[in-house]
Amino acid sequence: MNTATAETTAPVSPPAAGSTAAPDSASASDPALPASAPVPVPGPLAAPAASALPEAPVRVTVVVGSDREGRFGPVVADWLLERIGERDDFAVEVVDVAAASLPTALSHDPSPSVAAALAEVSPALDAADAFVVLTPEYNHSFPAGLKNLIDRHFTEWRAKPVALVSYGGISGGLRAAEHLRQVFAELHAVTVRDTVSFHGAAGAFDTGGRPRDPAGPSAAATAMLDQLAWWARALREAKERRPYGG
Ligand SMILES: Cc1cc2nc3c(=O)[nH]c(=O)nc-3n(C[C@H](O)[C@H](O)[C@H](O)COP(=O)(O)O)c2cc1C
């Protein structure tokens, strides 16, 4: 699976309207200023306006929610990672439930092996500004292994946005995605409106792992990732000004 980190070059916002305009010629006739008062003109050494500084990329952790033997999940994950990698506003990490080896019995005092397993995944959840959670649908919901990973963390999800990518049989995993919205609400996380879903997933991709009809899924991914980036930046700025108190 591709776990590459996306390039981090962020677009440079245009300066705020009027912020670099030289003062108008009113100063020449302003009685408060001597006629020879120098007019400050921004030069190359002038500090850039705050809005012109490049924005830090959104750190997004992609959670691969399926751990079934022979699973289809990595095909969907690789496609999604390619879409994210095409953009310059995300830096990506991957947490794969199948690689996490977390027992389902919760404990306040995890054994050394469970603590070691958590140490493999928790930092990537904690460091994230945002998440994309990939889920198949099993019996109208999401997999137990994904729920276990979610339940083993709390602050890591808190006040962060979550985007959902689902796949399955005829329903495209949408019932699993809607169940996840309820779970993440309990964890003070916000799920973004748009999702990407693949119904009849195994038949929706060719043998090279590409969607047979890529336009729709790509457009859906763009809309979803745009929303995720907006929420991640908005919440990051808000938390810098005021810690989340919920
Ligand atoms: C135990 C089980 C239950 C399933 N239940 C549903 C279901 O309720 N709705 C659906 O659309 N697909 C269902 N499927 C089909 C899976 O969503 C589909 O095979 C998907 O590719 C599984 O993801 P995975 O291969 O990554 O584990 C089920 C599959 C399994 C194994």
Those residues whose C-beta lies under 8 Å from the C-beta of residue 44, and which sit 6 or more positions away, are: none
At residue 169, φ and ψ (nearest 5 deg) are -80, -125
| Alpha-carbon dihedral angle through residues 181, 219, 136, 163, given to the nearest 10 degrees | -30
Q: Cα(213) to centroid of ligand 1, in Å?
A: 21
Please indicate whether residue 142 or residue 12 has the higher confidence score (pLDDT).
142
The DSSP secondary-structure symbol of 211 reads B
* Residue found by looking up tokens 């108190």 in the block: 245
Specify the residue with its C-alpha closest to ligand 1, atom 1. 138
Per-residue pLDDT of 116-130, as tens digits, reads 999 999 999 999 999
Contact of 62 with 134, CB cutoff 8 Å:
yes
Averaged over 178-197, what is the pLDDT? 98
Ligand 1 pocket, residues with Cβ under 6 angstroms: 66, 68, 71-73, 136-140, 167-171, 201-202
The DSSP secondary-structure symbol of 54 reads P
Q: Give the amino acid at 146.
A: L
Q: Both tokens of residue 140?
A: 């109208």
Those residues whose C-beta lies under 8 Å from the C-beta of residue 195, and which sit 6 or more positions away, are: 163, 164, 165, 166, 174, 177, 220, 224
- What residues does 162 pair with on adjacent strands? 131, 191
Distance separating alpha carbons of residues 149 and 86, to the nearest angstrom: 28
Distance separating alpha carbons of residues 177 and 166, to the nearest angstrom: 6
Specify the residue with its C-alpha closest to ligand 1, atom 14. 138
The pTM score is: 0.82
Q: Give the amino acid at 196.
A: V
- Beta strands 90-96 and 161-167, pairing class: unpaired
- Does pLDDT of 193 surpass 80? yes
Length of the chain: 246
| Alpha-carbon dihedral angle through residues 34, 36, 40, 44, given to the nearest 10 degrees | -160
Average pLDDT over the chain, rounded to whole?
A: 85
218 pLDDT band, cuts 50/70/90, is very high
Specify the residue with its C-alpha closest to ligand 1, atom 27. 71
Distance separating alpha carbons of residues 161 and 178, to the nearest angstrom: 15
- In the prediction, which pLDDT does 54 show? 78
**Cα-atom radius of gyration of the chain, to the nearest Å?**
23
* Domains along the chain with CATH numbers: 53-241 (3.40.50.360)
Taking the CA of residue 70 as reference, the ligand 1 atom at the shortest distance is 25
End-to-end Cα, the chain, rounded Å? 36
- Does pLDDT of 3 surpass 60? no
- In the prediction, which pLDDT does 36 show? 46
Instruction: Decide: helix, strand or coil at residue 60.
Output: strand
Mutation test of ligand 1: which of 66, 67, 72, 137 has the most ligand atoms closer than 8 Å to its C-beta?
137
Residue whose C-alpha is closest to residue 138's, from 202, 196, 191, 68: 68
Query: Could you tell me where the DSSP H helices lie in the chain?
Result: 73-85, 97-100, 112-126, 144-151, 174-186, 201-204, 215-241
At residue 43, φ and ψ (nearest 5 deg) are -110, -170
- In the prediction, which pLDDT does 39 show? 47
